[in-house]
Amino acid sequence: MKPTDIEDPEYFHQVIDCQFACPAHTPVPQYIRLISEHRYTEAYMLNWLSNVFPGVLGRVCDRPCEPACRRGRVEQEPVAICRLKRLCADQRDAAITARFPAVPQEKNGKKVALIGGGPASLTVARDLLPLGYEVDLYDDQAQGGGFMRSQLPSFRLPESVLATEVDYILDMGVTTHFNHRVTSMQAMLAKGYDALFVGTGAPRGRDLPDLPGRTEGDPWIHVGIDWLAGVVFRHVQSIGRRVLVIGGGNTAMDCCRTARRLGGEQVSVVVRGSRSAMKASPWEIEEALHEDIPILEHLAPLAFVVDDGQLTGMQFTRTGQESGEPVFLPCDEVLLAVGQLNAFPWIEPETGIRFTDQGLPVLDPLTLQSSLPQVFFGGDAAFGPRNIITAVAHGHEAAISIDLFCQGKPLDQRPAPQVNLAGQKMGVHDWLYDNQVAETRRQAVPMLAKAKTLKDRLLEVELGFDREVGQAEALRCLNCDVQTVFRADLCIECDGCVDACPESCINFVDNGEEADLRTRLKAPANNLAQRLYVAGPVSTGRVMVKDENVCLHCGLCAERCPTSAWEMQKFFYQSARAGQP
Least confident of 9-18, 210-219, 320-329: 320-329
Q: What is the pLDDT of residues 99-119, one digit of tens each?
A: 999 999 999 999 999 999 999
- DSSP letters, 421-490, are EEE-EEETTEESS------PPPPPPPB--HHHHTT-TTS-SB----HHHHHHHHTT---TTEEEEE-GGG
Contact present, 483 and 420 (Cβ < 8 Å): no
Element (H, E) at 89: helix 81-91
Q: What confidence tier does 426 reach under pLDDT thresholds 50, 70, 90? A: very low
114 three-class SS: strand
User: CA-CA distance, 461 to 80, in Å (whole number)?
Assistant: 17
Distance CA 555, CA 63 (A): 28
pLDDT in the model for residue 431: 52
Reported as a pLDDT band with limits 50, 70 and 90, residue 73 is confident
**Per-residue confidence (pLDDT) for residue 371, from 0 to 100:** 98
Question: 3-state SS string over 265-319?
Answer: CEEEEECCCCHHHCCCCHHHHHHHHHCCCCEECCEEEEEEEEECCEEEEEEEEEC
* pLDDT at residue 425 greater than cutoff 70: no
Question: Tell me: the pLDDT tens digits for 551-576?
Answer: 999 899 999 999 999 999 999 999 99
Task: Say whether the peptide bond before residue 537 is cis (omega within 30 degrees of 0).
Answer: yes
pLDDT, averaged across the chain: 94
Residue 384 CB coordination number (10 Å) = 14
Is the pLDDT at 427 greater than 60? The verdict is no
Per-residue b or e along 75-98, where b marks 16 or more CB atoms closer than 10 Å to that residue's CB: eeebbbbbbbbbbbbbbbeeebee
First to last CA, the chain: 34
Q: What single letter denotes the amino acid at residue 84?
A: L
Look at residue 217 and tell me whether its pLDDT is greater than 50: yes
Quote the pLDDT of residue 161.
Answer: 98
- Tell whether the model's pLDDT for residue 45 goes beyond 80: yes
Distance CA 175, CA 165 (A): 17
pLDDT exceeds cutoff 80 at 452:
yes
Domains annotated on the chain, with CATH: 103-203+342-407 (3.50.50.60), 205-340 (3.50.50.60)
Checking DSSP bridges between strand 418-423 and strand 310-318, what pairing results, if any?
unpaired
Residue 434: predicted pLDDT: 64
* 450-475 mean pLDDT: 96
For residue 550, the model assigns a pLDDT of 87
Contact 149/60 with Cβ under 8 angstroms? no
* C-alpha span between 553 and 568 (Å, rounded): 8
Mean pLDDT of 35-53: 97
> pLDDT digits over 317-340, tens only?
999 777 778 899 999 999 999 999
CB 88 within 8 A of CB 34: yes
Query: What's residue 234's pLDDT?
Result: 93
pLDDT tens-digit map of 122-173: 999 999 999 999 999 999 999 999 999 999 999 999 999 999 999 999 999 9
The share of the chain scoring above pLDDT 90, in percent, equals: 92
Nearest by Cα to 16 from 331, 480, 566, 364: 480
Tell me the sheet residues that pair with 317.
300, 326
